[in-house]
Amino acid sequence: MVVPHHATGARLARHRLADELADVVPPALLADLVAVLAELVGNAVRHADPLPGGVVRVAWRLTPTADGQSVQIRVTDGGSNSGPLMRAATPDAIDGRGLHIVSGLASRWGVERDGLGQSVWAEFDPLASPRPDLVAAG
């Protein structure tokens, strides 16, 4: 899908992803997907140039596995002078945590660049170890 290179782009992308995957992936995974997509689109709007037409391209792909669905999210923008960087955020900082959120929720993430811009992707693997904050206390 294509969304505006504007703050509303993240909202549009979140709602579309949630609508399309609500009956396909478990609710906890859907919440993680929505959070990561919002961060990636937000970062594209704040830190990168738009693609031609003033837009950001958003895509997701589900791959069936023996243990569930593997999901990849990809956000493509016009690129920037510097690539996405994880910053150290102080406890009272109002920003700088976005890629830490992506790294904490996704199984892996990365950046690909080509002549048109850059794509930041995040993958969610059903075989990945559960995050400690989601494991029920016994």
Q: How many other C-beta atoms can be found within 10 angstroms of the C-beta atom of residue 138?
A: 3
Q: Which residue has the higher pLDDT, 82 or 28?
A: 28
Tell me the pLDDT tens digit for each residue of 1-37. 999 999 999 999 999 999 999 999 999 999 999 999 9
Query: Average of pLDDT values for 71-89?
Result: 81
**What's the confidence (pLDDT) of residue 78?**
94
Which residue pairs from 21-25 have beta carbons closer than 8 angstroms and sit at least 24 positions apart in sequence? 21/60, 21/62, 21/71, 24/62, 24/69, 25/62, 25/68, 25/69, 25/71
Q: Which residue has the higher pLDDT, 23 or 65?
A: 23
Structure confidence at residue 101 (pLDDT):
84
39, 29 in Cβ contact below 8 A?
A: no
Q: Span 58-77, mean pLDDT?
A: 91
> Does 135 have pLDDT greater than 60?
no
pLDDT at 90: 59
Report pTM: 0.83
pLDDT in tens, 91-130: 665 555 578 888 889 999 999 998 778 999 999 997 664 4
